Amino acid sequence: EVQLLESGGGLVQPGGSLRLSCAASGFMFGSYAMGWVRQAPGQGLQWVSVISGTGGSTHYADSVKGRSTISRDNSKNTLYLQMNSLRAEDTAVYYCAKDLTGDCLGVFDFWGQGTKVTVSS
């Protein structure tokens, strides 16, 4: 059974940093691209970032580019999102999601339950 368990969310002050983690199990982690999608309170879905199965290819939404870094450790079956210079508009539930393929196709067939990030003073 595919499982994705996010952690690392919390309350952070504007300008602060957080590292989100996503522990994966139940599939060949290194064979699939992985992504982050966020949802602000009461709002729709916004794609954040994606990384290929090997980690050799990454893409970011403009809203986080230059402030965030997606990475993965295939030996630990774990996905990360390092977020810096956080702003109030980064407040959201962040979902980790598995891509259908090893390349960055962008179709997400399994999602975690999400971790909540609140940026506030």
Binding residues for other proteins, rule: CB under 8 A, are 37, 44-47, 50, 59-62, 95, 100, 104-114
Q: Which of 70, 82, 88, 87 is nearest to 33 (CA)?
A: 70
Beta carbon of residue 110, minimum distance to other proteins (angstroms, whole number): 8
Which of residues 23 and 104 has its CB atom nearest to other proteins in the complex? Answer: 104
Beta carbon of residue 59, minimum distance to other proteins (angstroms, whole number): 4
Matching residue, tokens 């630990």: 76
Which of residues 11 and 107 has its CB atom nearest to other proteins in the complex? Answer: 107
For residues 20 and 94, the answer to whether their CB atoms sit within 8 Å is: yes
If DSSP codes are grouped into helix, strand and coil, which group holds residue 34? strand
Which of residues 16 and 111 has its CB atom nearest to other proteins in the complex? Answer: 111
For residues 30 and 78, the answer to whether their CB atoms sit within 8 Å is: no
